Amino acid sequence: MNDLLDALKEVEGVIGACALDRNGGLLGRSLPAYYDDDMLVQLNRRFEELFESSEEILPQPKVVIAQFSQTWLLGRDWPGGRLILFCGPQAHVPAVKTAASLTAKRLGKSLASPAPATPKPAARVAPAPASLQRPIPGKQQKTRSGIWG
Amino acid sequence: MRRIALLSSSALLADAVRQEIAGQADLELLLIESVATLVAQEQASQIAGIIYDAAPGAQPQNELAQLLTSESWARTPVMVLIPPTQAAGELKKVFPNIVTELSKPLKSGDLLQALDQLSQSTVELPSKTTPSPSMKSSPQEITQSLPGVTDAFMWSVSGQVEYASSARATQFNTTMGFALQVANRMGKEAELGDFTGLQIQSDEGSAVFFSALTDKKDQSQFRTFGLLMDGTADPETVMESLQAKVIS
């Protein structure tokens, strides 16, 4: 699980990712320590609300991207739950979507095949990159205009 | 024969309306208790107009609003009967199809006049041009120039629909309002910065919302855009094209 999530960081601009099960439980993570487990579970609840409300305008949404001034998040459903990717401004949206789609398929396959009888590795936590440190109050953050611009 | 659907569960109101239109041979009043009944029993093409009773405890506004976003009912004119405590302006935001309104209690003679207006009205799909003077092209030109875009909407900073290529704007408005609240909370809880846009993708197509200043020198020119695309469109390409056309 964590190997698949680690691999996502090879895509330019992807900061990390986490995977959650259908009940919102955290299955794995490869993210800076800045994002604690509780925050990821809460983020997933928000994604759940976004997916549910999106149903009204686009049936069966598979991907939801929420863009913020400092980063953007991609939520993608997979058979066992949801994958959430954290991306910096420089990440290329189509490339990240493709990577998320492949990883979702692989996660689905890994669930379908019997797990090897090895101890589950601890979740890996990497230090936060400079771009994701908590914003300094009063300091102007450089942001992009628009959602993809 | 003009067939008018009165959407109300009030027998008193139905009696009052019936008495008012008695003798009008070309008017047929249908008392319909719910939107579901209206859809099940009637075809939009057979209904000259809908009278919506906005009294407390009336049929949920959102059900009717939802119906009026459908292709077949989008051009059906609506008359609202407004309680003394309610303003028509608020209802017009929910029902773009309102062509006339009457305040309650109804006055003799006013109803017939309003019914004439109702049954003779045609509803044009909302489509306003160039509300933001700083934009390089009109919304219609922009929509038509973006391949794969099926619906386009633009909201002002106060949330008013300024441009809609179809009557689905109400549905989009409701969904977007909720989604924006959720995304804003998400941004604050995880300290992700200000929320700036949303993209939704399914097998059928994509929907995108984003906010931008159409004139970077004028803070009043803040607009939110919503686009619905079919499966042939590439959302990123469309977004880039749109931004190039609207931001000066």
Residue-wise pLDDT tens digits, B123-178: 665 544 444 445 556 666 666 778 888 888 887 777 677 777 766 666 677 777 78
Reported ipTM: 0.75
As a whole number of angstroms, the distance between CA B243 and CA B248 comes to 9
Joined together, the tokens standing for residue B170 give 């109400």
Does the CA dihedral B77-B172-A46-A99 come out positive or negative? positive
Q: Quote the pLDDT of residue B223.
A: 80
Asked if B175 and A53 come within 8 Å (Cβ–Cβ), the reply is: yes
Asked if B197 and A67 come within 8 Å (Cβ–Cβ), the reply is: yes
Asked if B193 and A73 come within 8 Å (Cβ–Cβ), the reply is: no
Q: What is the DSSP letter of B50?
A: E
As a whole number of angstroms, the distance between CA B155 and CA B169 comes to 10
Q: Which residues in chain A come in under a pLDDT of 50? A: 119-149
Q: With an 8 Å Cβ cutoff, is B203 touching chain A?
A: yes
Average pLDDT, chain B: 78
Q: Mark which residues 205-234 of B lie under 8 Å from A by CB.
A: 205-210, 212-213, 216, 228, 234
Question: How many helices (H) and strands (E) in chain A?
Answer: 3, 6
Cis amide prior to A59 (ω within 30 degrees): no
Q: How would residue B44 be classed by pLDDT, with cut points 50, 70 and 90?
A: confident
pLDDT in tens, B181-219: 888 889 888 888 888 889 999 988 999 888 777 777 776
The model carries a pTM of: 0.59
